[in-house]
């Protein structure tokens, strides 16, 4: 009998090696090698092709039907916004997020809404049928009003299964318009020697489901686990297999959740939907800027309002800064919601170009609401919040600040400025401090006074009220 051969597969990048290695040479991940048996490739059946359309005959593009993009309507507006307007038939969507962030709850809500107009198959490999039924009852009470119970949709089918072969049989028997698989890491193919969640299993299971979705027109949502670095567990090729990749983000100590599109073949990327996690499920927030600013303390030193763009949506967020004389040799730099490098750059410019002695200060920066702000447009708000705290001078209550900071202390214009200003004006802000635009192609929006400045020093003079006297 021939001795079975083994190989070592990196669980991060999917590269295979003949021997165990502590660090993957491809992605530099430590302790990511898993031993797997090398199974012979399954014999292909006669006539069984891998074509998504069922044929391999070249056709003229003009002769292919599909003039109008068809989408399945979804009553959850924030979710539909992230997808680009609705669910595309035949698409496959990967939904990732930290444990306990609300992925299963949100997808069960989507399944229940879609089941009111067609057949939906919900496959769970992590929870029992009773557990899912209990969660569904909580969601129905939310929609029932006055403590009542809404009607259970007849089109929702539930099964607990991890074998992909059995799942495919259930799909063939029920012919659903939507499949929800929770999760892809628990699904396995029996003919493969590796365990569930390995690179080989995840890649092959996702590929089989993609082929089925493209050939049948069934939409599929795959829930995926994430690593401690925040990336979806498994090989990166998984994100290339699917059509759309969605991340559910949020601080576990905050109630707000952001559903972010990082890849979308049928819509805009970086689009964001905002939800609030409550006892009865995920509630969509139609006006997130107003929600983020609801608990703002007006005229408090160390607080500035930034206008960020999440996809095509402008969001107003409160940036809080706090400076305090350090009691240690090395001052602390603690950001929450912003990148550490952006904070260090802002502190360096404030120290060198404005003259603030921040080298002797512990610095804390926080974005209220638990959201992550990555774009440079929030640089000016970070600087204004820190300068406000250091000088103990409040920022004008009716003012927003927008702009990127350069190393020389200059301010740089950011994109989509008219949309940002219109959102600020809609929420009642009277003034906006922005970088001076040398070549203006269109006038500023009405309803808000735009104060153009060239340097960070000028911005601080315009934003801060008179310093408090001791």
Starting from the edge strand earliest in sequence, which strands make up the sheet with 333-336, in order? 303-310, 313-325, 361-367, 333-336
Concatenated DSSP letters of 410-467: BEE--S-HHHHHHHHHHTT--EEEEEPPSS-SSPPPTTSEEEEESBHHHHHHHHB-PP
- Indicate whether 221 pLDDT > 70: yes
> Radius of gyration (Cα) for the chain, nearest Å?
26
- Ranges 51-60, 66-75, 252-261, 334-343: which has the least confidence: 51-60
- Indicate whether 440 pLDDT > 80: no
Closest CA to 78 of 249, 245, 288, 269: 288
- Ranges 90-99, 106-115, 233-242: which has the least confidence: 233-242
Output the pLDDT for position 245: 93
Report the mean per-residue pLDDT for the chain.
Answer: 86
User: Contact at 8 Å (CB) between 223 and 95?
Assistant: yes
> How many angstroms separate the CA atoms of 114 and 154, rounded?
11
Split at pLDDT 50, 70, 90, the class of 142 is low
Output the pLDDT for position 47: 40
> How many angstroms separate the CA atoms of 400 and 264, rounded?
31
Average pLDDT over every residue of 109-120 = 94
> How many angstroms separate the CA atoms of 255 and 413, rounded?
33
- Indicate whether 145 pLDDT > 60: no
Split at pLDDT 50, 70, 90, the class of 144 is low
Split at pLDDT 50, 70, 90, the class of 327 is confident
User: Cβ atoms within 10 A of the Cβ of 406, count?
Assistant: 17
User: Contact at 8 Å (CB) between 412 and 435?
Assistant: yes
Split at pLDDT 50, 70, 90, the class of 107 is very high
Question: Each residue of 352-389: pLDDT tens digit?
Answer: 999 999 999 999 999 998 888 989 999 999 999 999 99
Output the pLDDT for position 13: 73
Output the pLDDT for position 374: 87
SS3 content of the chain, % helix, strand, coil (to 5): 30, 25, 45
> How many angstroms separate the CA atoms of 380 and 413, rounded?
11
- Ranges 51-55, 298-302, 382-386, 394-398: which has the least confidence: 51-55
């Amino acid at each position: 009998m021939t001795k079975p051969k083994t190989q070592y597969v990196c669980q991060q990048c999917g590269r295979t090696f003949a021997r165990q290695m502590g660090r993957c040479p491809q992605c530099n991940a430590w302790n990511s090698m898993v031993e797997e048996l090398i199974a012979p490739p399954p014999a292909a059946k006669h006539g069984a092709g891998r074509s998504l359309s069922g044929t391999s005959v070249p056709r003229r593009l003009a002769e292919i039907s599909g003039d109008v993009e068809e989408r399945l309507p979804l009553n959850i507006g924030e979710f539909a916004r992230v997808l680009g307007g609705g669910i595309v038939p035949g698409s496959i969507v990967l939904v990732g997020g930290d444990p306990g962030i609300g992925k299963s709850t949100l997808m069960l809500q989507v399944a229940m809404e879609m089941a009111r107009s067609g057949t939906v198959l919900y496959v769970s490999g992590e929870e029992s049928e009773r557990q899912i039924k209990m969660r569904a009852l909580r969601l129905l009470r939310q929609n029932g009003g006055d403590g009542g119970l809404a009607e259970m949709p007849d089109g929702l089918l539930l099964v607990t299964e991890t074998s992909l072969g059995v799942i495919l049989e259930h799909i063939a028997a029920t012919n659903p318009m939507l499949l929800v698989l929770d999760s892809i890491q628990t699904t396995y193919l029996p003919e493969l020697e590796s365990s569930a969640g390995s690179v080989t299993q995840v890649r092959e299971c996702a590929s089989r489901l993609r082929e089925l979705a493209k050939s049948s027109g069934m939409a599929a949502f795959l829930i995926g686990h994430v690593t401690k670095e925040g990336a979806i567990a498994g090989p990166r090729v998984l994100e290339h297999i699917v059509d759309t990749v969605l991340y559910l983000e949020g601080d576990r100590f905050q109630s707000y959740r952001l559903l972010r599109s990082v890849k979308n073949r049928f819509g805009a990327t970086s689009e964001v939907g905002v939800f609030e996690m409550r006892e009865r499920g995920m509630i969509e927030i139609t006006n997130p800027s107003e929600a983020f600013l609801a608990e703002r303390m007006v005229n408090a030193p160390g607080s500035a309002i930034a206008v960020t763009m999440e996809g095509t949506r402008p969001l107003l967020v409160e940036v809080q800064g706090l400076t305090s004389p350090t009691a240690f040799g090395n001052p602390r730099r603690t950001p929450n919601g912003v990148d550490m490098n952006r904070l260090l750059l802002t502190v360096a410019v404030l120290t060198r170009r404005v003259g603030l002695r921040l080298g002797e200060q512990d610095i804390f920066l926080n974005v209220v609401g638990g959201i992550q702000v990555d774009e440079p447009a929030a640089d000016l708000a970070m600087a204004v919040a820190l300068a406000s705290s250091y000088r103990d001078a409040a920022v004008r209550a009716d003012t927003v600040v927008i702009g990127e900071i350069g190393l020389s202390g200059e301010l740089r214009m950011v994109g989509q400025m008219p949309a940002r200003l219109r959102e600020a004006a809609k929420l009642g802000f009277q003034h906006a401090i922005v970088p001076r635009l040398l070549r203006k192609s269109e006038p500023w929006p009405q309803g808000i006074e735009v104060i153009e400045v060239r340097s960070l020093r000028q911005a601080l003079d315009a934003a801060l009220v008179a310093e408090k006297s001791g």
